[in-house]
């Protein structure tokens, strides 16, 4: 399964590492990533495309638990990795 997750996080220097570490450790592969700093809100917008066989709700919960993650939405889940997903942060 492939999933697209959109996140808004506090823009601390290590926030991307923190998020990617959770993705890997909780059993998902990173397929695509887009990240953008938003100066006005001091936040970071991130779109991740991940694949993995474990329930995506587990990953959502673990990411949501991060203190620096302010918002999370699961956008799309597809059975194959073939179709391209538009990545707009």
Partner 1 sequence: MTGAELVLKVLQQHGIKHIFGYPGGAIMPIYDALYDSEVEHFLCRHEQGAAFSAIGYARSTGKVGVCMATSGPGATNLVTGLADAMMDSVPVVAITGQVFSNLIGTDAFQEMDVLGMSLSITKQSFLVQSLDELADVLHQAFEVAQSGRPGPVLVDIPKDIQVGSVDFEPYPIAEKQTPDFSAESLKLAKDLIASAQKPLFYVGGGVGLADAIDEMQDLLEATQIPAISTLKALGTVPADYPYNLGLVGMHGNQAANHAVQECDLLICTGARFDDRVTGKLDTFAPNAKVIHLDIDPAEISKLRHADVSILADFKKLLPALALETQIQPWQQQAVELRSEYAWRYDFPGETIYAPKLLNLLSQKLPHDHAVSCDVGQHQMWVAQHMLFSSPRNHLSSGGAGTMGFGLPAAIGVQVARPDCTSVVVSGDGSFMMNVQELGTIRRFKLPVKIVLLDNQRLGMVKQWQELFFEERYSETNLSDNPDFVTLAKAFDIPALTINQADQIEQGLDQLINSDGPFLLHVQIDEKENVWPLVPPGKANHDMLEGEKV
User: Residues interacting with partner 1, by CB under 8 A?
Assistant: 12-14, 17-18, 21, 25, 55, 57-58, 61-62, 64-68
Q: Which is nearer to partner 1, 14 or 53 (CB)?
A: 14
Q: And the tokens for 33?
A: 């990533």
Integer Cα distance of 48 and 87 in angstroms: 8
In the complex, least distance from residue 78 CB atom to partner 1, rounded to whole angstroms = 22
In the complex, least distance from residue 56 CB atom to partner 1, rounded to whole angstroms = 12
Crossing angle (nearest 10°) for helices 56-65 and 15-25: 150
């Amino acid at each position: 399964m492939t999933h697209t997750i959109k996140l808004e996080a506090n823009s601390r220097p290590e926030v991307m590492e923190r998020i990617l570490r959770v993705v890997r450790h909780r059993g998902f592969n990173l397929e695509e990533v887009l990240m953008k700093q938003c100066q006005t809100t001091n936040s970071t917008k991130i779109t991740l495309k991940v694949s993995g066989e474990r329930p995506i709700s587990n990953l959502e919960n673990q990411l949501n638990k991060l203190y620096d993650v302010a918002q999370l939405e699961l956008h799309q889940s597809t059975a194959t990795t073939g179709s391209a997903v538009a990545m707009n942060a």
